[in-house]
Amino acid sequence: MYSIGIDIGSQATKSVVINDKKEIIATDVVLTGGNNSRSANTTYENVINKASLSKEDITKVVTTGYGRENAQAEKNS
């Protein structure tokens, strides 16, 4: 079981994958630019790849930060 947290800031969007033991598996940072959804989805894809996981391995995605209400990372896109 893995969860992803995404923090969408005005300058950078950061993500982290944690396992059920609350251990950090992978992290990623991208520039937010003018599109919160795109940066959230980019860092989501990047962090999954860094962790060598598939989208089906992810059980929860949580967003926070400046752009959290304007963006949704697609869990199974």
Residue 35: predicted pLDDT:
87
Give the C-alpha separation, 55 to 76, whole Å: 6
The conformational region for residue 68 under phi > 0 = left, psi -120 to 50 = alpha, else beta, is alpha
Residue 77: predicted pLDDT:
41
pTM listed for this prediction: 0.87
Using an 8 Å Cβ cutoff, are 3 and 57 in contact?
no
Mean pLDDT (10-residue bins), the chain, 77 residues: 94 96 98 90 97 96 82 49
Residue 67: predicted pLDDT:
72
Give the C-alpha separation, 17 to 58, whole Å: 9
> Dihedral angle at the C-alpha atoms of 46, 70, 68, 23, nearest 10 degrees?
-20
